[in-house]
């Protein structure tokens, strides 16, 4: 907790320069409205500029194109850099070192004889690790985690309490699974109807690549055949559903409560905002951004920026609109009829002069 | 199970009066269509009035403004009070006493030496309680629960099976967390893009005040800095997502599958219906009511009653409407053009007499 | 893993006939684009017909009405049957036999003295089974599962890791609960407002009939009084919320992230697509199909096919539409006014000849 860095050290760490006293000692990060002496904060959103005046932080991280703030009197020290938010994140990491774990297998856990737990890995009590499973170097497995047979957990992973990784699924290195995540549950697949419905065995696996982070109680289903893939650097929030045979491309970001149906391919660097629903067997192109609550019924080209849904409005107004909405086809016809009638009327009107002329 | 109360006792308990035989013995509550002798039921929704005729309950709780029911022949006993639903709830509690637990720490659980478990608290097997954590008087911690280091659980709390309360988070008294709830998972925060993305350490906590109840598999993220706060008396349903740094005001009610994005402030006595999504950094004013599935993209004033979304309609009709909806701007232009043309035509029409006059 | 069947055996198993060499040996199923020698695949979706040409499978399951594929040269063997997808599912099951479990109660689990675990049931470590609970023949209970007092689990059930079945709830035979499922959490019921709010005890249970499968982290609340019922053969996907006193009819299918509010009755053979929300106290008729993300605000007749919501569109276009949508009532009035004015104009126009005639 008692970490101390000078501003100069921090500037070197993030590649920025100091305007003010580089020997100032910093112990912690804080938000701009709450920071006090010994703390560093940041200014990214211009909306927060108003807090600068009263700010009691020992330093403020600012962008390069913000010289105005820096001349407010010299009271504050500034760390100027190209991306203040990224710099804040890096400095915040410096002051929040990962907790240390004991690197031991608790005798209160179950590890099958044929499972392999690498050096430095910490296995808490009430963890169950099946036959043939592997846990890599320095990974931490919290209480209540289930690691199925032949599942593979890479190095430096963090599996929070009550995570489930079912048989055969594979995690890369530095993967973080938050509490209650389920990896490798059966995909939702049946053939036939009613009492003749037959379950399609879900024999595939889930592959999660390096540096993926998955939020609490999110579920990722195993493939029917083959694999469900979460590629390198993907970040997934809480309570998200990823169905069987889905692929999520590198560095994509998926917000809370999103649902992605079976076999859909999400490209690289895609952003899905909260509660988005994506149908099955489509493709979302690289870099696409889908706004909150949108339903995505068909493939989306790379780079597309889509929104969907109807925002909340005062109930009575919304009720009137929703009563009229189903009548849109009728309204459309009315307008078309009016256009025709008027066009005819105008044509008649145009002819009149001729008639007049003929008089 | 063998609890017996006279109608007079129940009337005193809820502040009501008896029409009928106050010495009638009641053993249980039941719904109006299923109640039989020895049971008390209630009539709140007028739709259920039709069940009164055949009702075989020993007594019916009714409102003060419902004298009609009371004169249906004297066959039934009535308990009249100002709010029959609240009275029913209170009487139902009388007949559903909390189960007794043994008030012991199971030897099959793990409690760190420096953790403090108060007298009367029950710790089931397979519970893990970290260093410096506290569990208050008479709280019950079911199997599979994880309580992280320095987390604080108040008195008379109920943590159902497989709940996770991560390090440093704090619960008040009489808090109920249903099975699978996750408190204090990392907020979803990153800076930068693609392979340069940096995780922002989530160093804050979650504070849950007294008398809060949270539904199964709901997730509440810890703050980036500071705290995520669920204030006194808040009730949250299943599978809800509360992001980092959110505040939910006193006595607010949040239905299932709602998602609230980061730093948003929900006021006091707010109601969010099922599957509502609320964006980040906004404020929902005291007493506001947001209808099911609504997306809330901006701040909402106190007392507002909002709805959103498009209700399900027959697929073919909906398809027609949705094909026309994107053409709304075009329709609008058509109407404006028609208005202009017609206005001109009418003006011309008005001038015509003049022309005629000039002939 | 080393299962071998001849095509003839497979044809007999699913009731189909072979076009080609019935003695061909099959070891596995595979998808049509990845299958190789020794594997059988299927052709159901005509979109995949293009893969047939290059297909290296030892056999392809096809429908009866697809003779074209069968005459592409005799290179491939075909298994013709009435429903290729069902046949594929059945053959896939042949090649994916259920894993064997040891049929023992782990000494690392807790089973109350008065609980009854039938012969052949497997109880993994860290399972907790309360007083009076029952687990039927050959059922498998994975680590971290909680089975509350007097709960009943039928025969041949599969309860994956960290499932919670609370007190008194009852499962039929061959029920599969995926990891993290919560059965019997309290329904969301309160009477009164603000600080006077009273919890309504949730004293009912959940009854799950035979052959039901429920996806990871789904929650099913216990009834207030009586029961929440999931009938025979129902299939429910991940992260679904089923509220108290709901009934889901036989063989209905509920996709991921659906929410069903209290006391609603879902009929037989109903399909609810992903993220659908259904309000409380309504009825969805037999065989109804509700499209993804739809909100269902009122009862739905049997056989209805409904859709809802607004699909994602390019953000700027969507913004224009959403700005105009609230003005739909105004647009409507404009059109009505135009119609009146034009009708009047036309009537005037019709009269004009008379006037002319009078000249």
Instruction: Categorize the per-residue pLDDT at C252 as very low, low, confident or very high, splitting at 50, 70 and 90.
Output: very high
- Torsion angle (degrees, nearest 10) of CA A315, A316, A317, A321: 90
Which other chains touch chain B, taking contact as 3+ CB pairs less than 8 Å apart? A, C
Residues of B whose CB is below 8 A from C186:
176, 178, 213, 215
Å from C321 to nearest chain B CA?
A: 6
DSSP secondary structure of C285-338: -TT-EE-TT-EE-S-B-TT-EEE-S-B-EEHHHHHHHHHHGGGHHHHHHHHHHH
Residue pointed to by tokens 């969805």: C284
pLDDT at residue C65 is higher than 80: no
Rounded to an integer, the average pLDDT of A193-208 is 95
Tokens of A237: 């929030």
Which residue in the block uniquely carries the two structure tokens 């029911």? B69
Query: What is the C-alpha separation between A153 and A169, in angstroms, rounded?
Result: 8
| Average of per-residue pLDDT values in chain A | 93
The alpha carbon of residue C257 is apart from the nearest alpha carbon of chain A, in Å, by 7
Q: Are A325 and B321 in contact (CB under 8 A)?
A: yes
Nearest by Cα to A122 from A85, A159, A170:
A159
**For A101-134, what is each residue's pLDDT tens digit?**
999 999 999 999 999 999 999 999 999 999 999 9
Interhelix angle for A328-358 vs B328-358, to 10°? 30
| Residue of C110, C111, C123, C128 to mutate, testing the B interface (most B Cβ within 10 Å of its Cβ) | C128
The token pair at C20 is 């080609």
Burial class (CB in 10 A: 0-12, 13-18, 19+), C141: buried
The Cα C195–Cα B355 span in angstroms is 77
Question: What 3-state DSSP class applies to A3?
Answer: coil
Which of A200, A326, A331 best tests the C interface by mutation, with the highest count of C CBs <10 A? Answer: A200
Count CA atoms closer than 13 A to B14's CA, side-chain side. 30
Q: Which of C1, C210, C238, C343 to mutate to test the interface with A (most CBs of A within 10 A)?
A: C238
State the CB neighbour count (10 A cutoff) for residue B247. 20
Residues of B in contact with A335 (CB under 8 A): 331, 334-335, 338
- Computed over its alpha carbons, how large is the radius of gyration of chain B? 29
Give the whole-angstrom CA distance, residue C86 versus residue B351. Answer: 77
pLDDT confidence band for B52 (50 / 70 / 90) = confident
pLDDT over 90 (residue C358): no
From chain C, the residues in CB contact with B238 under 8 A are 182, 185, 188, 219, 221, 241
| Cα angle for residues B164, B166, B171 (degrees, 5° grid) | 85
Please state, in angstroms and as integers, the Cα–Cα distance from residue C62 to each residue in C6, C18, C88, following that order.
17, 10, 10
Amino acid A359: pLDDT: 38
Residue B357 predicted with pLDDT over 60: no
pLDDT at A73 over 80: no
- Cβ contact, residue pair A83, B192, below 8 Å: yes
Q: Which residues pair with C81 in a beta bridge?
A: C63
Q: Cβ B238–C188 below 8 Å, yes or no?
A: yes
| Lowest-pLDDT choice from A134-143, A344-353, C111-120, C133-142 | A344-353
Q: What count of other Cβ atoms lies within 10 Å of the Cβ of residue C180?
A: 32
pTM of the model: 0.95
Partners of A290 on chain C (C-beta within 8 Å) are: 312
Cβ atoms B279, B297 nearer than 8 A: yes
Query: Which of B61, B79, B59, B75 is closest to B18 using CA atoms?
Result: B79
CB contact under 8 A, C312 and A306: yes
pLDDT single digits (tens) C44-64: 888 788 888 889 999 999 998
Q: SS3 letters for chain B?
A: CCCCEEHHHHHHHHCCEEECCCCCEECEECCCCCCCCCEEEECCCHHHHHHCCCCCCCEEEEECCCHHHHCCCCCCCEEEECCHHHHHHHHHHHHCCCCCCCCCECCCCEECCCCEECCCCEECCCCEECCCCEECCCCEECCCCEECCCCEECCCCEECCCCEECCCCEECCCCEECCCCEEEECCCCEECCHHHCEECCCCCEEEECCCCEECCCCEEECCCCCEEEECCCCEECCCCEECCCCEECCCCEECCCCEECCCCEECCCCEECCCCEECCCCEECCCCEECCCCEECCCECCCCEEECCCECEEHHHHHHHHHHHHHHHHHHHHHHHHHHHHHHHHHHHHHHHHHHHHC
Given a cut of 60, whether residue C246 has pLDDT beyond it is: yes
pLDDT(C178) > 80: yes
CB of A177 within 8 A of CB of A160?
A: yes
Would you call A180 and B219 a contact, using CB atoms and an 8 Å cutoff?
A: yes
Contacts of A180 in chain B (CB under 8 A): 162, 164, 180, 182, 217, 219
Tell me how close the Cα of A18 comes to any Cα of chain C, in angstroms.
40
Q: What is the pLDDT of residue B115?
A: 98
Q: Cβ contact (<8 Å) for B237 and C239?
A: no
Give C315 to chain A, closest Cα distance, Å: 5
Quote the Cα angle for A85-A86-A90, to 5°.
Answer: 120
* pLDDT exceeds cutoff 50 at A357: no
**Residue B255 and residue C261: Cβ atoms within 8 Å?**
yes
| pLDDT in the model for residue B1 | 52
Which residues of chain C have a CB within 8 Å of the CB of A259? 239, 256-257, 274-275
d(CA B208, nearest CA chain A) in Å: 18
Q: How confident is the model at residue A49 (pLDDT cuts 50, 70, 90)?
A: confident
Residues in chain A within 8 Å Cβ distance of C89: 190-192, 198-201
Query: pLDDT band at B68, cuts 50/70/90?
Result: low
The answer on pLDDT for A312 being more than 70 is yes
Average pLDDT over residues B223-229: 96
pLDDT tier, A351 (very low <50, low <70, confident <90, very high otherwise): low
Segment holding C271, helix H or strand E:
strand C271-272
Q: What is the mean pLDDT of residues B33-40?
A: 92
Which of C221, C308, C334 comes nearest B335 by C-beta?
Answer: C334
Q: What local confidence, expressed as pLDDT, does residue C33 receive? A: 86
* Cβ separation B200–A89 shorter than 8 A: yes
- A83, A180, A312 ranked by CB distance to B295: nearest: A312
Q: Is the pLDDT of residue C357 over 50?
A: no
Per-residue pLDDT at C69 exceeds 70: no
- Tell me the backbone φ, ψ of residue C307, rounded to 5 degrees: -135, 160
Taking contacts as CB-CB distances below 8 angstroms, the residues of chain A near B295 are 275, 292-293, 309-312
Residue C176 in tokens: 């599969």
C-alpha closest to that of A171 among A195, A186, A187, A152: A152
User: Residue B90: closest CA among chain C residues belongs to which residue?
Assistant: C198
Average pLDDT over chain B, rounded to an integer: 93
The pLDDT assigned to A68 comes to 65
Q: What is the pLDDT of residues A79-88, one digit of tens each?
A: 999 999 999 9
H/E element, A355? helix A328-358
> Has residue B344 got a pLDDT over 70?
yes
Structure confidence at residue B120 (pLDDT): 97
Q: Among B62-66, B229-233, B297-301, B308-312, which is the least confidently predicted range?
A: B62-66
- Residue of C256, C313, C339 to mutate when probing chain A, most A C-beta within 10 A: C256
Give the closest-approach CA distance of B119 to chain A in angstroms.
25
Q: Quickly list DSSP for A259-319.
A: EE-TT-EE-TT-EE-TT-EE-TT-EE-TT-EE-TT-EE-S-B-TT-EEE-S-B-EEHHHHH
Residue C327: its chain B contacts at CB < 8 A? Answer: 332
- Amino acid A159: pLDDT: 98
Smallest CA–CA distance from A329 into chain C, residue? C332
Over residues B99-132, the pLDDT tens digits come to: 899 999 999 999 999 999 999 999 999 999 999 9
Give the pair of three-digit tokens for residue A112: 């099958």
Cα gap B223→B228, rounded to integer Å: 5
- CA C85 distance to own-chain centroid: 17
Unique residue bearing structure tokens 């998926």 = A254
Q: Determine whether the interchain pair C89/A166 forms a contact, defined as Cβ–Cβ distance below 8 Å.
A: no
Look-up of token digits 């059930």: C157
Residues of C marked as catalytic = 244
Q: Which tokens in the block code for residue A317?
A: 């107004």
Euclidean distance between CA atoms C70 and B124, whole angstroms: 63
- Residue A190's pLDDT is 97
Give the minimum alpha-carbon distance from B331 to chain C in angstroms, rounded to a whole number: 9
Q: CA separation (Å) from C232 to B64, C139, C141, C248, C282?
A: 44, 18, 21, 9, 21
Q: Is C60 helix (H, G, I), strand (E, B) or coil?
A: strand
Spell out the alpha helix ranges (H) of chain C: 7-14, 67-70, 84-95, 315-324, 328-358
Q: Which of A205-214, B1-10, B136-145, C247-256 has the lowest mean pLDDT?
A: B1-10
| A310 closest CB neighbour out of C143, C310, C346 | C310
- Please state, in angstroms and rounded to a whole number, the distance separating the CA atoms of residues B220 and B260: 10
Q: DSSP 3-state assignment of A340? A: helix
CA distance B302 to chain C (A): 16
By residue count, chain A amounts to 359
Catalytic annotation, pick one of A178, A244, A281, A315: A244
pLDDT tens digit sequence for C216-240: 999 999 999 999 999 999 999 999 9
Would you state the pLDDT for residue B228?
98
User: What pLDDT score does A289 carry?
Assistant: 98
pLDDT at C348 over 80: no
Per-residue pLDDT band at A355 (split at 50, 70, 90): very low
What the block records as the tokens of C171 is: 């499962």
pLDDT band at C356, cuts 50/70/90?
Answer: very low
Distances (CA, A) of C17 to A192, C73, C92: 19, 18, 17
Average pLDDT, chain C: 93
Q: Do B179 and C188 touch (CB under 8 A)?
A: no
pLDDT score, position B358: 39
Give the closest residue to B88 by CA, choosing from B40, B47, B24, B27: B40
Give me B246's structure tokens: 């959110």
Closest Cα in chain B to C193: B251
Residues of C in contact with A291 (CB under 8 A): 312, 315
Asked if the Cβ–Cβ distance from C306 to B326 is below 8 Å, we say no
B244 is catalytic: yes
Single out the residue of C83, C56, C50, C64 nearest to residue C19, CA to CA: C64
The vertex-A118 CA angle with A114 and A121, nearest 5°, equals 120
Please tell me the distance from the alpha carbon of residue A298 to that of residue C332, in angstroms, as a whole number: 31
| DSSP designation for C96 | S
Q: Who among C182, C194, C300 is closest to B251 (CB)? A: C194
pLDDT per residue over B75-91, tens digit each? 889 999 999 999 999 99
What pLDDT, on a 0 to 100 scale, did the predictor assign at position C46? Answer: 80
| Catalytic option among B13, B112, B160, B244 | B244
Put simply, the answer to whether B329 touches C338 (Cβ < 8 Å) is no
Three-state DSSP state, A331: helix
Inter-chain contact C295–B311, Cβ cutoff 8 Å? yes
**Res A1: pLDDT:** 52
């Amino acid at each position: 907790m008692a970490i101390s860095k000078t501003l100069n050290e921090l500037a070197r760490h993030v590649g920025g320069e100091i305007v003010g006293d580089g020997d100032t000692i910093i112990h912690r990060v804080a938000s701009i409205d709450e920071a006090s002496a010994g703390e560093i904060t940041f200014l990214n959103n211009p909306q927060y500029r108003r807090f600068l005046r009263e700010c009691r932080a020992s330093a403020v991280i600012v962008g390069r194109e913000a010289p105005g703030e820096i001349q407010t009197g010299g009271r504050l020290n500034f760390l100027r850099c190209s991306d203040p938010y990224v710099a804040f994140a890096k400095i915040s990491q410096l002051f929040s070192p990962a907790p240390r774990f004991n690197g031991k297998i608790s005798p209160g856990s179950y590890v099958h004889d044929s499972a392999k737990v690498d050096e430095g890995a910490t296995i808490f009590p009430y963890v169950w690790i099946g036959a043939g499973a592997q846990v890599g170097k320095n990974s931490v497995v919290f209480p209540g985690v289930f690691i199925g047979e032949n599942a593979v957990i890479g190095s430096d992973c963090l599996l929070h309490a009550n995570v489930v990784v079912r048989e055969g699924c594979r995690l890369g290195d530095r993967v973080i699974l938050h509490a209650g995540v389920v990896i490798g549950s059966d995909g939702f697949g049946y053939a036939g109807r009613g009492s003749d419905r037959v379950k399609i065995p879900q024999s595939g696996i889930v592959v999660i690549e390096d540096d993926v982070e998955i939020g609490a109680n999110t579920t990722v289903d195993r493939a029917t055949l083959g694999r469900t893939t979460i590629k390198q650097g993907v970040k997934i929030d809480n309570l998200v559903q990823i169905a069987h045979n889905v692929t999520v491309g590198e560095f994509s970001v998926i917000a809370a409560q999103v649902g992605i149906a079976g076999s859909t391919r999400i490209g690289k660097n895609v952003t899905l905002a909260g509660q988005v629903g994506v149908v099955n067997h489509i493709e979302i192109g690289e870099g696409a951004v889908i706004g909150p609550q949108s339903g995505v019924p068909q493939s989306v080209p790379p780079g597309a920026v889509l929104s969907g849904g109807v925002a909340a409005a005062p109930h009575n107004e919304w009720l009137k609109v929703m009563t009229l909405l189903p009548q849109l086809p009728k309204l459309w016809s009315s307008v078309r009829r009016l256009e025709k009638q008027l066009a005819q009327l105008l044509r008649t009107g145009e002819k009149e002069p001729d008639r007049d002329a003929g008089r």
